Amino acid sequence: MDVSYDGTDFSGWARQPGRRTVQGVLEEALQRQPPGAAVPKSVVVAGRTDAGVHATGQVVHVDVVPLSEASGRVPVSSEGIPDLTRMTGRWNRLLPGDVRVLGARIAPEGFDARFSAIRRHYRYRVSDAPWGVDPLRRHDTLAWNRPLSTDAMNAAAAELLGLHDFAAYCKQRDTGTTIRELQRLTWERVDDHLLEVRVSADAFCHSMVRSLVGVLLLVGDGRRTDAWPSKVLESGIRDSAVAPAHGLTLLGVDYPPDADLAARAEQTRNIRTSL
């Protein structure tokens, strides 16, 4: 399933007791299946997003038990799968307006939304206008009250590309690894006062993109030198410069050819512990 959402009014992706989450509302819609369909226990997402973070290209998979016969007005294939175009329309009628299922299809053998992914793409938007942010963009764009230099930020960003231990740019957790391959980190001024940074990596650890953006913004407005972000990386000590969540959007997720999906999932599950 390809999913888009406005993260403003959500407490992030992951289901939490007593909180409104994207996973929670999506699973509630999926559970309202035609009679006889198995209720999915949980969906698997390509990348969990924090509270306030948006997505235009989130990917989700769910395992279901095929229907034994047609039910209601939704046609069922010979494999027991309801017409997914019709089901997408049904889910979107059940979902709130800040979540949309853009499309659904039967996944290839070996597919895992999270572990089969080879690359994830994010965008962060910033306005350096002296008057702040266009009111229509206030939920997905950060207001920065100092002029920003894309040249300075790109010079600093270039030193962070490649395979590194990004512990200094990740919120620490007891398990997992902070070794990642950062493949793209590019700033562009797309309008007079609007900047975007595109960030791509094989995977991201918790708050990594927001930490990268927060540090680079201090370079862009002249408060830090373009050598500082790489020194932070080398130190392994997390800096407090973390950009707010609302400027961040997950744009898309890349997967290998179908024949390589299972192997990729197995490779990803083997936690990388060294460079």
DSSP the chain: -EEEE-GGGSS-SS--TTS--HHHHHHHHHTSPSTTPPPPS--EESS---TT-EEEEEEEE---PPPSS-BTTB-B-TTS-B-HHHHHHHHHHHS-TTEEEEE--PPPTT--TTTT--EEEEEEEEE-BTTB--GGGTTT-EE-SS---HHHHHHHHHTT-EEEE-GGGS---SSS--EEEEEEEEEEE-SSSEEEEEEEES---TTHHHHHHHHHHHHHTTSS-TTHHHHHHHHT---S----GGGEEEEEEE---GGGHHHHHHHHHS-----
Q: Is 50 a catalytic residue?
A: yes
Task: Give me the catalytic one of 2, 6, 50, 239.
Answer: 50
The set of catalytic residues is: 50
